Structure 1
Amino acid sequence: MTAAVLATACAVIFGTADFFGGLATRRSRVLAVVVFSQIGGLLLIVPLLAFLPGSPSPAALLWGMASGVAGACGIVMFYRGLATGVMSVVAPTTATASMAVPVIFGLITGERPSSLALVGVVLGLFAVTLVSRSPNDPAHGSRIGSILNALASGAGFGGFFILLKLAPEDSGVWPLLGARIASIALVALLAVATRRSLRPIPGTLRVTFAAGLLDMAANVLYLLAAQRGLLSLIAVLVSLYPASTLLLARYVLGERLSPVQITGVGFALGAIALIAAA
């Protein structure tokens, strides 16, 4: 039950972070948003290390750095998709892919959720599929490009979830320190190699840091949940984050939600209830 609560809270905060990240990338350079949001997350995790239980170890930092590489690739593709596509299409499609990868991994490696939990998994996948159906109809080429970005992003996020789960259980949130160091270094090197500026557009730094702080808070909740529950269940709950992204996009940006998407949000709540009760 504790793991389900942590994962659900993680999903809400992840969705909010993605909304702020999407706003930032529409106004600034994608790599600049990624780097400065990651720095914002680093500023949050460093003080938390002194207060949350956990022991640093080479294994914790190495698994964290590996997850940081996967996550950095995922977030670059995700923010790129948000900057060029419809937020209510990109976020759910990414979530579908990021859910499938760790769920399959968990089942292959021997996790066996209860029958009730498996019903929740199926309902959660159905929910994400429903909210992925956008009432907007962007140009075909733009839609295909956004979906490809989202699928690649989801694969990166799925790898991030798996690699963090593989860190020693007694490491606390130390793997997240390794993840942030690796992701910042990777994106900075990418910017140098492609000769792209990391200077943020004036007026965007505040929302960029907000995205990074929220993203790191969600990462902490995910890691704590993964240390207490099955990856195949935690990943489903975390991947329901598009619900909060969609609601924010609806009420802040005025993006329309179709009846099918609203139904999907309802199914998401049902999936949460089933997995939490299992």
Structure 2
Amino acid sequence: MLPITLSIFACFGWGIADFIGGLKSRSLPTLGILMISALAGTFLLGIILLLMHSPLPYDPGLFWAVPAGPIGIVAMFLLYRGLAVGTMSILAPISATGVILPVLWGIFTGDMLTGFSMLGIGIAILGSILAVMEKDPKKNKGKLTKGIGLAFGSAFFVGLYFITMDAACTHQPVWASMIMRSSSLIFLFPLLFFLKVNVNIKKTQLFYIILMGVIDTLAAFCFALATSKGMLSQVAVISSLYPGVTIILSAVITGERIQKIQVSGVILIIAGITLISAL
């Protein structure tokens, strides 16, 4: 029960963080947002480790947390850029279909896939196709919504993130989270320097970015704890229900509207992910 509860917390945290990140990426540099949020998250984890008096242990599995950092950054960058140019309520669920990768990986490493899970994968794929279509009122035919390529790219890296963090969190989820955040910073610093990204952000905006970093870090920490105690195939799919939170926030706060066929696609994606969790 604990892994499921932690996965639900991760779901809500990532949904809120993605909404903030996508919204702020419309007016601020995405890499700058990721850098500041990563700094805030690393600082938070440092405080947690100090309070726990936990020295760095010898655990070869922790090396998996090193690539998890850059992988997570790429996933977030692609998603935030997509959310900045496209419709949040459409693109967020598409990014969550990357959960298919850890499910397949779980099968490869010994997990048994139920009929519900197989049905869920098919439904999620169908939902993705419907969700990315929108009716062009001028030409009266379907067209791909903006940011679709970015959303699918994000989905791929989200799946890789789940797999690598699961491998890293077998024994030391706290340190795995810290190493993951630290490696993301090491990955971001050269990018910001060579691309000359402006990170001069107003204080009013800074608060929301730091808040996003704290929430995202807590969500990732909850996922790390959950996957260290439960099956990746189950934990990943429950955690990846976060688009539902993003959709609600985008509808309530920004007043986004989506077409009926896209609503059907979003519902199918969420239903598919839910069925996959019935492992």
Question: Which category describes the TM-score, using the shorter chain as reference length?
Answer: 0.7 to 0.9
Q: 1:36 to 1:263 in 2, by over 3 A?
A: same
Q: Calculate the TM-score normalised by the size of structure 2.
A: 0.83
Kindly provide the CA deviation profile for residues 188-227 of structure 1, in whole angstroms up to 9, marking residues without a partner as x: 2111122222222453111111111111111011111211
Secondary structure at the residue paired with 2:25? helix
Q: Please, what TM-score do these two structures have when normalized by structure 1?
A: 0.83
CA distance in 1, matches of 2:232, 2:20: 27
Is the contact made by 2:93 and 2:270 (CA closer than 8 Å) also made in structure 1?
Answer: no
2:237–2:277 CA contact under 8 A, matched in 1: no
Give the 3 Å change call, closer, same or farther, for CA 115–188 of structure 1 in structure 2. Answer: same
Structure 2 unpaired stretches of 5+: none
Contact 1:57-1:171 at 8 Å conserved across structures: no
Q: How far apart are residue 259 of structure 1 and its match? A: 5.1
2:66 alignment partner in structure 1: 65
Between the aligned partners of 2:208 and 2:187, the Cα distance in structure 1 is 22
The equivalent residue for 1:104 is: 104
Q: Match for residue 31 of structure 1?
A: 31
Distance 2:235 2:135 in 1: 29
SS at match of 2:229: coil
Is the Cα contact below 8 Å between 1:135 and 1:256 reproduced in 2?
no
Q: Is the 8 A contact 1:14 1:241 kept in 2?
A: yes
- Partner in structure 2 of residue 81 of structure 1: 82
Please report the RMSD computed on the Cα atoms of aligned residues, expressed in angstroms.
3.3
Task: Note closer, same or farther for the CA distance 1:127–1:240 as it changes in structure 2 (3 Å cut).
Answer: farther
Aligned positions, number? 274
Find out whether 1:193 has 2:197 as its counterpart. Answer: no
SS of aligned partner of 2:168 = coil
SS in 2 for 1:203: helix
Question: C-alpha deviations, 1:145-188, integer Å up to 9, x for none?
Answer: 61111122222221111111112522122111111111112112
Q: Which residue of 2 aligns with 1:253?
A: 254
Matches within 5 A, 1:112-127: 112-115=112-115
Aligned-partner residue type, residue 165 of structure 1:
D
Distance in 1, matches of 2:271 and 2:91, equals: 23
Instruction: Give the AA of the match of 2:47.
Output: P
Contact 1:37–1:209 (CA under 8 A) maintained in structure 2: yes
State the match for 1:177 in structure 2: 178
Look up the SS of the partner of 2:257 in the other structure.
coil
- The letter of the residue matching 1:18 is D
Matched AA of 1:205:
L
Which protein shows a greater Rg? 2
Residue 273 of structure 1, CA deviation: 7.1
Structure 1 residues 143 and 53, CA gap change in structure 2 (3 angstroms) = farther
The equivalent residue for 1:223 is 224
Q: Secondary structure of 1:211's match?
A: helix
Distance 1:112 1:264 in 2: 27
| Residue 150 to residue 277, structure 1, CA distance change in 2 (3 Å) | closer
Note closer, same or farther for the CA distance 1:113–1:253 as it changes in structure 2 (3 Å cut). Answer: same
Please state whether the residue corresponding to 1:27 is helix, strand or coil. Answer: coil
Separation in structure 2 between the aligned mates of residue 253 and residue 131 of structure 1, nearest angstrom: 19
Deviation at 1:5, TM superposition (A): 2.4
Residue equivalent to 1:236: 237
